[in-house]
Structures are given as C-alpha cells and as structure tokens.
Amino acid sequence: MTRQYFGTDGVRGPYGGPVINEMFLARLGMAAVRWLRTGAQPGNLRVVIGRDTRLSGSALEAALAAGLRRDGAAPVSLGTVPAPAVARAVLTEQAALGAMITASHNPATDNGIKFFDTQGMKLSDRDEARLEQLLPADPPSSSSSSPLPTVDALGPYIAAVQSLLPAGALRGWRIALDTAHGATCATSPVVLRGLGAEVIGLGDAPDGSNINAGVGSEHPEKLARQVCAAGARLGVAHDGDGDRCVLCDEGGGVLDGDEILTILATHALARGALRQKTLVVTVQSNLGVDAAVQAAGGRVVRTPVGDRYVSERMRAEGAALGGESSGHVIYADISSAGDGLVAALKVIEVMLATGRPLSELRRVLRKFPQITADLRVREKRPLEELAGLRAAVAALEAEIGPRGRVLVRWSGTEPKLRLLVENEDAGAARTGVERLLNAARRELAGG
C-alpha cells in the first residue's frame, strides 16, 4: 500500500507548509480515532501525546488533540519528553496509541509526528497507509478548548533508565553531554548526575527555535572539542527527540551507530548474552559490522532503512539488539523504541565491565571505506524509471563484486536521493559515488 504523507519515520516537513500545519494534524487525529475503532480493542481510545522543544509543538499538539476529541478519543499530554518516554508511556498508561510531535534531527523550522501502537512500537507501513485512507477531507468544525489532562512521564522514565546501572556507578566520571536543545534536556543530565557523574552540558538551553542548531548528533564537532577540553571520559550526543545516540571517545573521536552496535553485540556474544546470536541492522550499515560480529560468533541480519523495520525484524528473529548507523539503538529487553540514553548507558556498562576506554573498545570494528552523497531534488521519481542511473549502478556493482556494495534510495523524510558506495579501496568508492551523482543529475536535471 502506497503512502503519500508518511516516510521512514512518521510525517515530517516545514511547519506551516502544505502538510505540517494545524489543519492536517486535526484531520490526522480524526483519522487515528477511526483507525483505533477498527482495531483489536475498539473501546480503548486513550492517546498519550509528547512533543520536543520546537515552538510549534504546542499548537500542533492542540490541533491533534482537537481531532482526537472530535471523534471521541481521550488524549493526554505528556509535555516535553523524549520519544522513548512516549513509547514507554503507551504501555504504563495502557493507552491505545502514542503520538510524538517532533521532526527529530531536522531544524526548528520543521516539525512532524510519529505514532506508537499499544506495544510501544512504531506503526507498520500498512497501518500508516490505512491512517491516510481514513483522513477526512475537512478538519473538525469545532472542538473543546479545555486544557488537556497531563500525566508525568518524565519521572517514571528517568527512574527506569537510571536503574540500568548500580547506584553511584559513575562517581568520578566526567561526561560531556550534548542534548541538542531538545527533548532530552530534562532527562539525560538528570540520569547521569543521579548515577554520580559530573556532566559538562552542551545544547542544553532550548528556546523553541534552536533545536539541533549546530549541536546534537548531527553536529558532534563541538562535543568532540568539549570532551578534549574538559578531559571527559566520553561524550554523548542526542538528536532533537532523543532516540539517537552518537558518542565521542576520550580523545574526541566520534563513534556512530555502527560502532556502538558492534561494541554492544560483540561484548554480549563474549558473555553468551546476545539473544539468538543476532544483530539486526539496516542496509546502510558498514560491511565491517558483519565481519566483526561473525568473527565473534554471531550473525547480522539487514533490513531497509528505518528503525521500525529494524524493530519488526528483531521481533521476527527473536533478537534483542538492533539499530542504525545514524545512532538509533534498540534494546528490546529495555525499550520497544530506539533510545539514545539507553544506548549510552549500555556502552558505559561495557566500559565499566572491561575497564577499557572507548578508544580501545571501538577497535572491534574495522570499517570498510564508505562514501555517501545526497542529491536534493524537486520530485521523487520512481527509481525504476531512472534507466540511466540504474545502468550506472549495475556497471558499478559489476566492477566492485564481493569487495563492496552500492546503495541508492530516496530519503524517507527529505526530498533527497541518497547514494552510498562501499569498497575496500576508498578512492574507488569516491569515484563510484561521483559516477552515480553525475548519472542522477543527468536524469533529474532541473530537480
């Protein structure tokens, strides 16, 4: 089933644009109620709503709630919380649906929404397509103006995550923490300090318009400098809604999701604790992950790009660990959703158990050279229609053979063509990407 509005991680776009506006959110709220009434528990219409720190979040929350109330749902506001706290609240509040109003790592001018089902899982492609089918033509003509009832999701979330490590486990640790002026400003520093760490904060003064602005997981450069300047044990960076984690070692070296996942998987394999001996990643992850995990006695399973596809495959495989190179890490035994703070604490747990610094632990992954590029376009044409690009891909794949791979896909959240070439020879990978870019530009001229 095709989807018009939903991408790889919910609906996202410029606030006030043709999609992300109060009218659309109200219509989406009405569609959500219609969808819930056809589900396994049609009588449960309780919906929990969280948001990040964007100025537009409150207005969009009110519009969503108006649509939900119009068709009989009972929305509850969680306030400003990380996305994994919303997923958790769906379970603890026995809600039928969770909604997180966020554009994740996008700039403050954007906003969006992602949904969680009764199990705290992202909605499937099928469910999102069904929601779109149920969208009414018009928003509610009238709605209640009374304030939404609220529930404290922060306190229980902080307590649950802090319990992952023993009390005082981080006494004597200095940690640089970049919360991207986003939803983790009120959670991650509290947890780390509660465990005894000295926290050097970055991106911790949200004003509604500075989320992700030169900080966070998409911009770890400042964090790396701060780690070195402060003599910190490590650095932790989140994105705007807190479901991603990027780390810096004590020398300022940046670790992405592939390195985090490989550290966690190989450590678990060594202890016989990786369920099904399986790590689930996406097609975006480096081939070095497969080599490292296989050498440790495990296996790697790959999915399309998107943490919900990772989560779905984890459930099918009976696996407990999976994620993306972007820094989404899912620990199914702890959270149904990606959680950047949980990922950081689990890596710290490995550091505590081994007594080894992050700069040593990261050596378990030897990455294959990987070159990526993006091409912004006006229109996302089906890739099968781009004959010239497909021919360029086929020729490059024939040249690379088993020494690497080629990946071409449309971004699920932005009007961009994503290109990736991986090869044992970095120069050949770089040349390959340029060839694909040139082929794409020729076919998408004017895009």
β 74-80/46-51 pair status: parallel
For the CA atoms of 381, 385, 391, 393, what is the dihedral angle to 10 degrees?
40
CA separation for the pair 129, 140 (Å, rounded): 21
Helix (H, G, I), strand (E, B) or coil at 376: strand
Q: Which 8-state DSSP code applies to residue 367? A: P
- Residues involved in catalysis: 104
Of 316, 315, 319, nearest to 299 by C-alpha is 319
How many angstroms separate the Cα of 410 from the Cα of each of 223, 324, 383, 418, 430?
30, 17, 8, 6, 20
Q: For residue 340, give every residue at least 6 positions away whose Cβ sits within 8 Å of its Cβ, in sequence order, or none.
A: 82, 84, 184, 188, 217, 236, 238, 239, 242, 243, 244, 245, 327, 329
β-bridge mates for residue 322, sequence order: 280, 330
β 278-282/321-323 pair status: parallel
**Lookup: tokens for 319:** 């696996």
Find out whether 45 and 73 touch, Cβ atoms under 8 Å.
Answer: yes
